[in-house]
Chains A and B, each alone.
Chain A
């Protein structure tokens, strides 16, 4: 469960003040997957970072009673000078996972072959994404964050990502940002629309989609 208590979040652009969350309180329940929709610039990705805890609110409290992932497929925290294997070992250590099991899983899943022992910085962007994706699957998160990217690589690998993800969905929840109405409808139980610093909650995804469509008009 993740609780927001009177959360206020803004950021400054060149001249304007952008309010992402205007003193908002809500609760994301365990066992439910949420789809977050909103027009470009509504602050969806900022909201995601607040949920993950990699950014702080300007005021208010965020309480996490679940282990939340970093945004899926995101490779920013991996060190370019360390090999793929060393990066996996680091993340497995930090999250207290069986290190050898994690390495074996990613080795098998990400299909990096001998590159697993090459510095991460020498990887192609596709390989980086594959490693990052495999890594987030190797760790038992209670809740996966998905910021647009659900699957990486070529179409065969993307299928592999989706298959693995569907397995995961049995034990883990997900919070998904997507402009794809289809994806949200396929994976999410409830919908949230973020607009003008406010959050609108819908018990059915299709109601959220309806509002999102109106915002786009």
Chain B
């Protein structure tokens, strides 16, 4: 339909709003607490992993607080993995909506991305609240850096998820590969150790892992003088933007196939 820019924007807003509401309601079966589960799932994952690593009681290589060291390592992983995975399933789960001519593939992707950002924010807030109630001092020295690092982490997860959701429609195998890539990133991210303790030749490869930079950047908000020259936040931003571009291009290229499958 040929419409003015303002009218098109209003249409877009209506479609996205409706899709987000429907997504919240239908993601985990027909329950009123569907969205609570969407938040509780990654939150439980995060708390359980953190609980295990803190309970082991190993001396951490940085600072004195185990919760802060492991928390700053595990949280970015969760806030990258879950938005990425949910983005990957966006088209697959919402396929029937494309039968309404007004709903486009891109609407489903954008709605899911917005919802994942909201979900990630809720997970973060709930996590901080729980730690606060538990009496753990999890406040960063530099909240501005911490917020920026988490925002970029979520952006990175969403960008990988966007590209994956297009690939997934063409290759159902992709779910397994996606998980493998995520695990590989997790192991080499330095969440549980300091990459600088690694031999130099290993570190040379680790710096290509965007998740390493997400975690290290977040840790610079907690530990003075941490990270040094190897932490490059802009690298994650560049990788994310490039992946987003690739994802949108891929969507456009195979849109016809996405609709038909």
Q: Which residues of A pack against B, CB within 8 Å?
A: 52-58, 63-70, 74, 76-79, 81-82, 86, 90-91, 93-96, 119
Which B residues, 223 to 261, have Cβ-Cβ distances below 8 Å to chain A? 255-256, 259-260
Q: Could you say which residues of chain B place their CB within 8 Å of the CB of A65?
A: 1-2
| B212 CB → nearest A CB, Å | 40
Q: Which of A52, A55, A68, A96 contacts B11 (CB 8 A)?
A: A96
* C-alpha gap A150/B17 in the complex (Å): 32
B100 touches A (CB below 8 Å): yes
- CB of A56 within 8 A of CB of B259, answer yes
Q: Could you say which residues of chain A place their CB within 8 Å of the CB of B2?
A: 63, 65
* C-alpha gap A94/B100 in the complex (Å): 9
* C-alpha gap A119/B98 in the complex (Å): 20
Q: Could you say which residues of chain A place their CB within 8 Å of the CB of B25?
A: 82, 86
- CB of B29 within 8 A of CB of A54, answer no
| A57 CB → nearest B CB, Å | 8
Q: A54-B101, A56-B259, A82-B30 are in contact. Are A94 and B96 (CB under 8 A)?
A: no
Known pairs A64-B1, A93-B18; list 7 more (Cβ under 8 Å): A52-B101, A54-B99, A77-B103, A79-B96, A93-B17, A94-B15, A94-B18
- CB of B100 within 8 A of CB of A70, answer yes
- CB of A81 within 8 A of CB of B29, answer yes
Q: Could you say which residues of chain B place their CB within 8 Å of the CB of A91?
A: 100
Q: Could you say which residues of chain A place their CB within 8 Å of the CB of B30?
A: 81-82, 119
Interface residue range, chain B: 20 to 34
Most buried by A among B15, B22, B96, B98: B22
Q: Could you say which residues of chain B place their CB within 8 Å of the CB of A66?
A: 1
Most buried by B among A53, A67, A70: A53
Q: Could you say which residues of chain A place their CB within 8 Å of the CB of B202?
A: none
* C-alpha gap A117/B260 in the complex (Å): 32
- CB of A69 within 8 A of CB of B101, answer yes
B136 touches A (CB below 8 Å): no
B10 touches A (CB below 8 Å): yes
- CB of A55 within 8 A of CB of B99, answer no
Which B residues, 1 to 58, have Cβ-Cβ distances below 8 Å to chain A? 1-2, 10-11, 14-15, 17-19, 21-22, 25-26, 29-30
* C-alpha gap A98/B2 in the complex (Å): 22
- CB of B100 within 8 A of CB of A77, answer yes
- CB of B1 within 8 A of CB of A67, answer yes
Q: Could you say which residues of chain A place their CB within 8 Å of the CB of B101?
A: 52-54, 68-70
Q: Could you say which residues of chain A place their CB within 8 Å of the CB of B259?
A: 54-56
* C-alpha gap A67/B259 in the complex (Å): 19
7 shortest A-B CB distances, which residue pairs? A93-B18, A77-B99, A56-B256, A81-B30, A52-B101, A94-B18, A53-B101
* C-alpha gap A91/B97 in the complex (Å): 10
B18 closest partner in A (C-beta): A93
Q: A56-B259, A69-B101, A86-B25 are in contact. Are A96 and B10 (CB under 8 A)?
A: yes
Q: Provide a sorted-by-A list of 5 A–B residue pairs whose CB atoms are within 8 angstroms.
A: A56-B259, A65-B1, A67-B1, A81-B30, A90-B18
- CB of A76 within 8 A of CB of B99, answer yes
Q: Which of A67, A70, A82, A90 contacts B99 (CB 8 A)?
A: A70
